[in-house]
Structure 1
Amino acid sequence: MTPSCTPCVNRNNECVYQQMQRRRGPGRSKMYIQALEERLSKMEAVLSQAGLPRPGAPPTRVSPSETDAASVSVFAGPPVTSGTTAGPNPSTDAQQAGFAQASTDHPMVDEAGPSIPRMSQNSSEQSDQRGSQTPAPPPRDIPEPPKQLSNKMPVFAVIASRMREVNTASYCSTFNRQVFTPRLEREEAITMLMPLYDDVIDNYPLLNFHYFVRHFEKLPEADNTFNNTSGWAYMNAVISVGTRRKSINNAFQDVCQLAWPFFKNAFSVLTELMVKGTDLLAVQAIVAMAVFMQGTTCMRTAALLSSSAARLSQSIGLHRQPCVMMSMCVQDVEARSRVFWAAYILEKEMGLNHGLDSIQDDDDIETELPSGRGDGVDVLNLRAKLAMVESSIRRRLYTAKGLRLTDDDLVKAIIDLDALLEEWRSSLPAELQPSYEPRTASPDIASDILNLHLAFFRCTMMVHWAARRHNQYPTMAVLVGTSGGFEMPYIQLSFSQKRCRMAAHATIGLFRTISTPQYADLWRILCYPLCASLTLLTDVLENPGCSRARGDLAATRSFAHFLQKFEKSEGCDLKRVLTACAFLQRTAQRAVDDAQNMMHAQNLVVNDGPGVPLIPGFNLSEDAQVLQALLGAATHPMYLVQGLMGTLPNRDQRLITRLAHLLGTPLESGKPGSPLGPQPLQPETYGFGFGQGQAGSDPTANWS
């Protein structure tokens, strides 16, 4: 039948029908509108369960976490028959328009179909630590919130306007682990690590490798130990430390390209270790990572790892005596003790060097000191006792309270802490005791003993440097040899100045007793001789006419020659360090020459007393004056050195920035590293950074 229009039928005319193209699609059906209303009613019901007050009820507060949980819990479900249909009103029209816009952007899921199941917590567990990923659920629509909710909680309006679909990755119940090396089996890891066994044990006592290696090669559960998170992290961290230690200096960067992926394997599970770690290996793995990072310029990461190790050891109760200790074997008790004290030593060392607060309270430790591993002296035991002295030095002299001590309290603290240091030194066997006397030619000192002596002399310098805060310290040089110089404050201040110089000379002298060190290990201990050099140069600039000034300069010059020889023979980059040393040496040498030449011209006797104010007509050069002011204002030279070598800010950061410019080694804005840090020791050189990569990308794609 030919279609006809009503006017043509009424007039008995032939109707010519021409079908025109529709410019508008079919309108929304009543079923569609009903489905939207049902979804809206569901959302209102869920939000009311989340704490939204009913009309007439007293107002209640809803926490952001609850509202966020409620918002992501709403998703499409089967339709529910409604008994009534809401009448048209502006509010409903606006809401329907919002839903229509959402459905235009993303087609609706058939409401009659099955609802989308939730992700099970158990389904997200990853049995393989080497990069397995949890499947994500399909996307879910986020409907527009009701107007009344948008007004009271604007966060829903922001979510609705910014996110039409929730990212599927947000529904994963765990973080995906990344692996940066080819798949590694336990037997392969042992094969790689055993050639490094002696180097790791002799040079890194904090790793306690001789106690834990048996868990990976002899015990029946060796595979389980290797495959769990803490065992995997510890093994990878030790491999990275040992591989870098074995590298020859002229191929350091090439070998580090192989060591860093293993470190990144361990670092990638740091969060899991902190949240779920419950065994000794978890703490020990973080300690190993911190030791590795101490050989780089990134001291912020090293400090983070050291504090994390201390906090985790507390979390699992290593600082307490376990109630089941009587049933534990001697070896397990010793391992527990060694792990705790390794984390303790690391944290106290970082705290004193960088001015960081301690996590572990010394008055709340029940764990006994490690007893050793057989005959001979246990270096870890000695280092733990020294770490307790380090903690006292930090607490009494370098906290905010310690920096405000009165003169009498300051002198008392210095005397007490010096007595603690001498008590520790005298407790060592005679052949291991640090000596202030110049060392003669002798065989190479062992690495662990070298670190022990450097730490002791650093403590001595930090204790006696604090005497400079005494109000009468500037007049000490004037009273030398007079009756006033024999009063108690001046005796102690003079002793502190002398002891500080002796410790600085002894620190530099230790580097005459070692053979060529490994590049990263040298960087790890370089802060000690640099601190000693700044200590001596501070005294030189304050007393350039003193008879000992040239001897102090000779000591700093000998260390600079050591670094020059190392760079030339080993092909390692120390240019920025040598640039700084050259400026310091040149400035101090000029001050000494000018002062002593003027003293000779005026027939003044060169002795241990005259400072700059006592030489008539003498003034330091401009650079020397600025340098003297910076060094004299420092909390301690160690803070200046750590700020120049690393990336961790400290109390003297303003002075560090000025000193870096004065030395000719300013850090360029926006670039990684530190003012004195060489490029091969920067983690960014080996891809250790944080970017906006694709989730789920294969980190081993570049491995052949």
Structure 2
Amino acid sequence: MYPSPTSGENPDDDSHSSRKRIARACDSCYKRKIKCDAAIPQCNWCSHHNIPCTFTRTTHRRRKEKIHANSQQKTSRLAERIDRIEKLLTDNLLRESVPRESSISSNTESPGFDQPPSITPIGPSSVSSSVPLHFAGRELGVVSLITGIPFLLPEGQQWIQSRTGQHIAFDKLSPARPPWEKQRAMSSSALLMDLHKVFELPERHIVEINFEAYCGSLMMRIFPIIDTALFAETIKTAYRHQNTNSPIGQAANRACIFAFLAFTSLTRIPEFDSIRQQISPVDPETFALKAQYLTPQVLQETTTLEGLQTVAMLALYELVSGNLQSANYYGSLSARMIFNLGAHTTTSQQSVLYQDPATDTDPRAQHHLRNIFWLCYTIEKDVSLRTGQPQLFVQDNCDLTLPPGYVDRLYTSLEYHHHSQELPDNPLFPVDLRLSIIKARACSALYSFKALQKTDAELLKEIRELDDELEKWRVSVPPEWRPTLSFSHETPDPNVSMHSVMLRLNYHLCMTIIHQASSRCKSWANGQGGMMEGVSSSLALSVEASRSTLLYLEAAEHVLIDGIFWTLIFYPMSAFLAIFCNILQNPIDPQATKDLGLLRTATSMMERVFLRQTCSTNEVVHIKLVADFVTELYRLAKCAIEKAWRERSA
């Protein structure tokens, strides 16, 4: 760089230098756009041409100011654009938040920014986490057949009214809760319990008598929630520290005992009757409340087997009580604890049954944890179906290897117990574990959010594969226990028992949820030849499975255990809905009249089963809601048949 001669003459002129700068080239070179060497007194060009070499040209510093101005201008334009976008979005949101009635009204004005929009609170009745209810290509409600029908969509209302010619009693047909869900209300005596006595354990002999009765019953094989040796140690530990003022560190042991008494006292087990006469009556509600009071402390402590047993038994207690929301919450806690303890996965070493349980605790505890996993897995699949909530135990994260020898021993143990009444040595679980796995796959492949995006061909492919898997399971069951494809009174069950009832009900439920998914196929509206025939036959299988559910329950009513109404109600209610929709779809079909009679007899049967259990005021109120729901279904189905025959005669 070469300083210009002018800049060297006035080095201290700050005011001048702030306004302008001297060019590096002389005036002549700058004008001709040639390189100037700025030599003194004359540059090379000026000296060669014998002309004056001057530096009189001045240049103002505008470049940075111009760039800065441009930047400010661009920023201003961007801010204006963002403001316009935000205003546009706000206007759209305000217009969407206005109810349709107000937009139709002539006196209603568009809301402005000075008038905030009304916000509708989101509740379980306005938002569904499940799949829309379809039947034969029509979307009727906001949730699936398998998860309830709280509210009918306008399209569903119009279809029902067009088929029946009747106005719908929405207070009866659209209850706030699914018909099989009851919100268990605490009694005043339980709520007014002295908080100072929350941590007090009952007399030890009460716990031991209930423990002995449970271990000697079939219920422990169906619900293997405790282990004889491990729970005996839990009782010793809890009563060893019963005088401790603070329950910290012992909350899980105490809560486990409270939850055990609540669950076993609620369960109606015939073997308990003679034994419980030795002690004063146990209030299951009070012990459940005590276990719930201790649950927050259990969650703060390190995850233990006792803590897992506590929340799992509370989930069972709420499920048997009909309170599905609480059962879902405690089931979720159970799943998280199982993940923490690693019981959702297993190794070949952990799968080996213990040889000497009295001397080796770790293998026994690992084996028991795996039993609790399978029990919670089975319960979660049922709760997910009934509530529409997503599954936690998914195949990608769990080892679904069945217990060693489970399939070989299952029906052999059932056959032996059915004839000799001696207890099997191994857990039976509430449902065949293979059926629970099929349920899980059906929910994931047909009713998950991802499943809603599948085409007709993909959906039917999933239905065929699941149907094949279910049929393989059915054929693998020994003939004396094997469910028939369709049940009728002409083909009675020779080994009818409570376990066979649950086996058949779950088989027919799997048939229903697998083939019911065909109602979402678009070919119902398009009428696509061969595919339409496959879709129609698939839906027919679903309806036939629903008929078999009601017929089998009627035939097996005499073996149903008292007190299981809320556990059982889901199966007939979901069948009611499927048969009702089918009557509306085909009211002139001869089978429709038979189905109408089936609805009437099944309703009477469910009322008799309900009356066989001890009823609280809250349960009586809820059973009236269930009765109103079924009565409205029956009335509308009857009107649909009569209307169709009148139109045909005319």
Tell me the TM-score range normalised by the shorter chain.
0.5 to 0.7
Of residues 178, 184, 208, the one that matches 2:202 is 184
Q: Is the 8 A contact 2:562 2:612 kept in 1?
A: no
C-alpha distance in structure 2 between counterparts of 1:328 and 1:207, whole Å: 15
Compare CA radii of gyration and give the structure with the larger one: 2
Aligned to 2:229: 214
Distance change in 2, residues 1:276/1:386 (3 Å): farther
Deviation at 1:461, TM superposition (A): 1.0
C-alpha distance in structure 1 between counterparts of 2:293 and 2:354, whole Å: 33
Tell me the secondary structure at the aligned position of residue 561 of structure 1: helix
- Report the AA paired with residue 237 of structure 2: N
Aligned to 1:641: none
- Report the AA paired with residue 379 of structure 1: L
Q: TM-score, normalised by structure 2?
A: 0.56
- Report the AA paired with residue 276 of structure 1: E
- Report the AA paired with residue 537 of structure 1: F
1:202 counterpart = 2:219 = yes
Q: Is the 8 A contact 1:283 1:309 kept in 2?
A: yes
Residues 266-314 of structure 1 show CA distances to partners (whole Å, capped at 9, x for unaligned) of 2222233334353333323322111110133432111001111111100
Tell me the secondary structure at the aligned position of residue 448 of structure 2: coil
Of residues 471, 488, 492, the one that matches 1:438 is 488
Aligned to 1:527: 570
Deviation at 1:367, TM superposition (A): 6.3
1:351 counterpart = 2:401 = no
1:449 counterpart = 2:519 = no
C-alpha distance in structure 2 between counterparts of 1:196 and 1:326, whole Å: 25
Aligned to 1:234: 256
Distance change in 2, residues 1:177/1:307 (3 Å): farther
Distance change in 2, residues 1:421/1:274 (3 Å): farther
1:388 counterpart = 2:410 = no
Q: How many aligned residue pairs are there?
A: 406
C-alpha distance in structure 1 between counterparts of 2:198 and 2:634, whole Å: 45
- Report the AA paired with residue 266 of structure 2: R
Distance change in 2, residues 1:465/1:523 (3 Å): same
Residues 534-562 of structure 1 show CA distances to partners (whole Å, capped at 9, x for unaligned) of 10000101111112111221221111111
Residues 131-177 of structure 1 show CA distances to partners (whole Å, capped at 9, x for unaligned) of xxxxxxxxxxxxxxxxxxxxxxxxxxxxxxxxxxxxxxxxxxxxx99
- Report the AA paired with residue 417 of structure 1: L
> 1:243-642 alignment to 2 at 5 Å?
243-246=265-268, 258-321=283-346, 325=350, 329=354, 332=364, 333-366=366-399, 368-371=401-404, 372=406, 376=413, 379-380=428-429, 383-435=432-484, 436-439=486-489, 440=491, 445-474=496-525, 487=530, 489-512=531-554, 513-515=556-558, 517=560, 520-566=563-609, 572=615, 573=620, 574-599=623-648, 601=649
Distance change in 2, residues 1:281/1:429 (3 Å): farther
Q: Is the 8 A contact 2:549 2:575 kept in 1?
A: yes
Deviation at 1:529, TM superposition (A): 0.3
Distance change in 2, residues 1:234/1:426 (3 Å): farther
Distance change in 2, residues 1:561/1:291 (3 Å): same
Deviation at 1:190, TM superposition (A): 0.8
Deviation at 1:179, TM superposition (A): 4.8
Distance change in 2, residues 1:470/1:216 (3 Å): closer
Q: Is the 8 A contact 1:225 1:231 kept in 2?
A: yes
Distance change in 2, residues 1:503/1:422 (3 Å): same
Deviation at 1:238, TM superposition (A): 2.6
Tell me the secondary structure at the aligned position of residue 268 of structure 1: helix
Residues 547-582 of structure 1 show CA distances to partners (whole Å, capped at 9, x for unaligned) of 211122122111111133345676853322112211
Q: Is the 8 A contact 1:553 1:585 kept in 2?
A: yes
Q: Is the 8 A contact 1:461 1:503 kept in 2?
A: yes
- Report the AA paired with residue 195 of structure 1: A
Deviation at 1:182, TM superposition (A): 5.8
Distance change in 2, residues 1:455/1:327 (3 Å): closer
Deviation at 1:454, TM superposition (A): 1.9
C-alpha distance in structure 2 between counterparts of 1:178 and 1:509, whole Å: 52
Distance change in 2, residues 1:581/1:367 (3 Å): closer
- Report the AA paired with residue 202 of structure 1: M
Deviation at 1:526, TM superposition (A): 0.2
Structure 2 unaligned blocks of 5 or more = 1-193, 242-249, 271-279, 358-363, 415-426
Deviation at 1:243, TM superposition (A): 1.6
Deviation at 1:326, TM superposition (A): 8.8
Distance change in 2, residues 1:529/1:328 (3 Å): closer
- Report the AA paired with residue 568 of structure 2: I
Q: Is the 8 A contact 1:544 1:591 kept in 2?
A: yes
Distance change in 2, residues 1:524/1:592 (3 Å): same
Deviation at 1:443, TM superposition (A): 7.1
Residues 489-538 of structure 1 show CA distances to partners (whole Å, capped at 9, x for unaligned) of 12321221221011101111221212274564111220110110110000
Deviation at 1:322, TM superposition (A): 6.0
Tell me the secondary structure at the aligned position of residue 269 of structure 1: helix
Residues 379-399 of structure 1 show CA distances to partners (whole Å, capped at 9, x for unaligned) of 339632222212211111111
Which structure is richer in relative contact order (CA contacts within 8 A, separation 6 or more)? 2
Distance change in 2, residues 1:327/1:224 (3 Å): farther
Distance change in 2, residues 1:571/1:363 (3 Å): closer
C-alpha distance in structure 2 between counterparts of 1:409 and 1:353, whole Å: 25
Q: Is the 8 A contact 2:344 2:399 kept in 1?
A: yes
Distance change in 2, residues 1:527/1:554 (3 Å): same
Distance change in 2, residues 1:258/1:247 (3 Å): farther
